[in-house]
Amino acid sequence: MPKAFSIPVVVETATVAVHDLARIAAPGRRRFLRGSAVLSGLLVAGSPLALLAPSRAWALDLTRVDQHQADAIMALAKTLYPHKTLPDAVYALVTKDIDAKMSDPHTAELVKSGVAQLDQASNGNWLTISDAQRTAIVTAQQNDPFVKLVRGQCITSLYNNDMAFAHFGYQGSSFDKGGYLHRGFNDLDWLPNPPAEASPPVA
């Protein structure tokens, strides 16, 4: 079974903050009032995450990026690692982790200049161009330090979290539960069953 994770209710709102364990905190009232960047959305009804969450709505507040930078980073993550059915709530983790790294002035400047460069390459606004145009720009700028920063962050932020595990059907570590022999060993469901002689009884 997919691992369940808690999703706390956002203070004084009807949304919830989707998070990987305790790594992402629910947006607080003060942050909303002071106008910090917020990423939010809805989980697709019937999806693995929607079945685990107490609400389909999610919200994620940020402390250092502005709203345009937050949206631009998430769009870049989706361009670098496109998964049509992966919820935006998971892609938002990339922005959250980049936002945390911006406590370093060099990284903060890299993000600021990197988003500006993407906008310039898009003739004004990176967020308004097509997916194909974004892919062409990222391909041309794949060695840019900002693109490399976000690409590297995607490796862990996108895939090493319980939300991605639930979405992709990864059941997590089995060693501490006795191994896979009686937990997932025979879960293969995309190939036909092998003939009986291919799996003789253990002597």
Query: Is 10 inside any structural domain?
Result: no
Query: Is 3 inside any structural domain?
Result: no
Query: Is 89 inside any structural domain?
Result: yes
pLDDT in the model for residue 35: 43
pLDDT in the model for residue 26: 42
Query: Is 116 inside any structural domain?
Result: yes
Q: What tokens were used for 100?
A: 């945390």
Query: Is 82 inside any structural domain?
Result: yes
pLDDT in the model for residue 203: 62
Query: Is 187 inside any structural domain?
Result: no
Own/partner contacts of 80-84, CB < 8 Å, gap of 24 or more, are 80/138, 80/147, 80/150, 80/151, 80/154, 81/154, 81/158, 82/131
CA atoms of 152 and 38, how far apart (whole Å): 23
pLDDT in the model for residue 34: 45
Q: What tokens were used for 112?
A: 């600021």
Q: What is the pTM of this model?
A: 0.72
Length of the chain, in residues: 203
Query: Is 21 inside any structural domain?
Result: no
Instruction: For residue 115, give its domain range.
Output: 29-171
Give the pLDDT means over successive 10-residue stretches in the chain (203 positions). Answer: 38 35 41 63 76 75 93 97 90 94 96 97 95 96 96 93 81 76 73 81 71
Query: Is 75 inside any structural domain?
Result: yes
Domain total of the chain: 1
pLDDT in the model for residue 161: 83
